[in-house]
């Protein structure tokens, strides 16, 4: 298969897909046999495609579950005018809870409450679960066996992240060590 054709097929697949497309899914698009591109060839074609879109209003990005096209941030305010639907507004409590889960996962509701200093309401947890941003990954081996919460791949995709390492460090935090992150988040929440 000519490399230009490979790039164009991948471009079409990505534009037609409703979700990010993984390398494994791209491999399935092409027939088995000698013309089947390797992972290296697919990554090279994706790199070329990303370079082609570098100066456009859409860009090719890699998120946790694969590759997708998305509008660049500079164009987003114009797109917002097309939709009459208002973007979701999230309370400070919900955002603090999500931040605690992001930076300290897996974490129990009690651990979140001890840092925030207030109870985490069930509606907050339910909303974050319904959005697909958090899920229960197990239960802590202590009396009561509280649920351990962590973020999902959907969270990473929705926030345009490839991994949790791309999360910004909270103000005043110098490293990604759990203790430093927790102290930094506690300081910001209590401000």
Residue matched to tokens 């208002």: 86
The topology (CATH level 3) of 3-80 is Arc Repressor Mutant, subunit A (1.10.10)
- For residue 21, the 8-state DSSP code is B
* Average pLDDT by stretches of 10, the chain with 191 residues: 73 93 90 77 93 93 94 85 73 89 90 87 92 93 92 90 83 57 51 48
Distant-in-sequence, close-in-space partners of 180: CB < 8 Å, separation ≥ 6: 173, 174
Residue matched to tokens 């959005």: 131
Distance of alpha carbon 134 from alpha carbon 149, whole angstroms: 6
Query: According to the model, what pLDDT value does residue 91 have?
Result: 86
Residue matched to tokens 């319904």: 130
Which CATH code, of 1.10.300.10, 1.10.10.10, 2.10.70.10, 3.90.1300.10, is assigned to 92-189?
A: 1.10.10.10
Within 64-160, strands assigned E span 66-71, 134-139, 147-151
- Please indicate whether the domains covering 3-80 and 92-189 agree at the CATH topology level: yes
Query: According to the model, what pLDDT value does residue 175 have?
Result: 57
Domain residue ranges in the chain: 3-80, 92-189
Query: According to the model, what pLDDT value does residue 49 have?
Result: 94
Phi-psi category of residue 21: left, alpha or beta, with phi > 0 → left and psi -120 to 50 → alpha: beta
Environment class of 20 (CB within 10 Å of its CB; exposed 0-12, middle 13-18, buried 19+) = buried
Q: Which two tokens stand for residue 101?
A: 């889960």
Distance of alpha carbon 103 from alpha carbon 156, whole angstroms: 13
Q: Which two tokens stand for residue 106?
A: 């897996």
Is this structure's pTM higher than 0.75? no
């Amino acid at each position: 298969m000519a490399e230009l054709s490979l790039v164009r097929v991948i471009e079409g697949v990505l534009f037609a897909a409703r979700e990010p497309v993984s390398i494994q899914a791209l491999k399935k698009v092409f027939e088995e046999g000698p013309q089947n591109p390797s992972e290296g060839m697919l990554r090279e074609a994706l790199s070329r495609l990303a370079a082609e879109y570098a100066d456009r209003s859409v860009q090719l990005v890699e998120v946790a579950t694969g590759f997708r096209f998305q509008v660049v941030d500079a164009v987003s305010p114009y797109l917002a005018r097309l939709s009459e639907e208002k973007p979701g507004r999230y309370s400070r409590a919900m955002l603090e809870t999500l931040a605690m889960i992001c930076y300290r996962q897996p974490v129990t509701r009690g651990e979140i409450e001890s840092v925030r200093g207030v109870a985490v309401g069930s509606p907050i947890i339910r909303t974050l679960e319904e959005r697909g941003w958090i899920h229960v990954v197990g239960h802590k081996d202590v009396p009561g066996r509280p649920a351990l919460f962590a973020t999902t791949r959907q969270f990473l995709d929705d926030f345009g992240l490839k991994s949790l390492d791309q999360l910004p460090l909270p103000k005043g935090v110098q490293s990604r060590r759990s203790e430093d992150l927790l102290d930094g988040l506690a300081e910001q929440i209590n401000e």
